[in-house]
Amino acid sequence: MTGQAFFVLTALADGPRHGYGIVREVTELSEGRVKLKIGSLYGVLDRLATDGLIEPDRDEAHDGRLRRYYRLTRDGRSELAAEADLRAATARVVWARLTLPGTEAAG
């Protein structure tokens, strides 16, 4: 899973969001490191929808335009949890290596 897809799924984990809402949430979650452009966002949304990980939730009128909200599917939630576990496990391994006494002398 790419970093962008991971952040988009995470942005939808606590409830449905519309396109720009996802962009803002991803920027906040990544502390400004990931700033999605609209073309990039819809490339990711299209791929996630094709894979069945997200689906449309509802349309809401705002300022004369319709905003479409997206939500995680059951598969999307499972996939996100599995990816989070994988990343956490990887991080634990890295930290274990970094904090191991005498590792700088190894190898």
Partner 1 sequence: MSGDLERRYRRVLRLLPGYYRRQWEEDMVAAFLDSALTGDPDEDEFSTEYGRPDWPEIASVGCLAARLYLGGAGTPRRYFVWGQAVRGTVLAVTLAHAVWGLGQFVLLGASRYQIGWLLPQPAAAGTWRTVSYLMGYTWVVAFLALALGYYRVARVIAALVIAAELAVVLRGQLTGALPPFASWPYWILLDLAPVLAMAAFHRDAPPPARRPWLVALPASYLLVSVPLLAAEMTGLSAWVPDTPGLCCILAGLLCLVHVPRARSSRAGTGVWSLTLVLLAAVAALYKITWLAVYLQGPRSSSHLIAVGLAELLILAVAATLVAPDAARAQAAMPAPPRPQLG
User: Can you give the binding site for partner 1, defined by CB under 8 A?
Assistant: 2, 18-20, 23, 37-43, 45-47, 49-50, 52, 55-56, 59, 62-68
Nearer CB in complex with partner 1: 47/77:
47
CA distances from 82 to 10, 38, 58, 71 (A): 12, 27, 27, 18
Nearer CB in complex with partner 1: 38/91:
38
From the CB of 33, what's the least distance to partner 1, in Å?
16
From the CB of 89, what's the least distance to partner 1, in Å?
23
The candidate with the shortest Cα–Cα distance to 6, out of 30, 31, 28, 39, is: 30
Q: Is 106 exposed, middle or buried (0-12, 13-18, 19+ CB in 10 A)?
A: exposed
* Cα dihedral 71→55→23→1 (10° resolution): 100
Nearer CB in complex with partner 1: 37/102:
37
Nearer CB in complex with partner 1: 10/73:
73
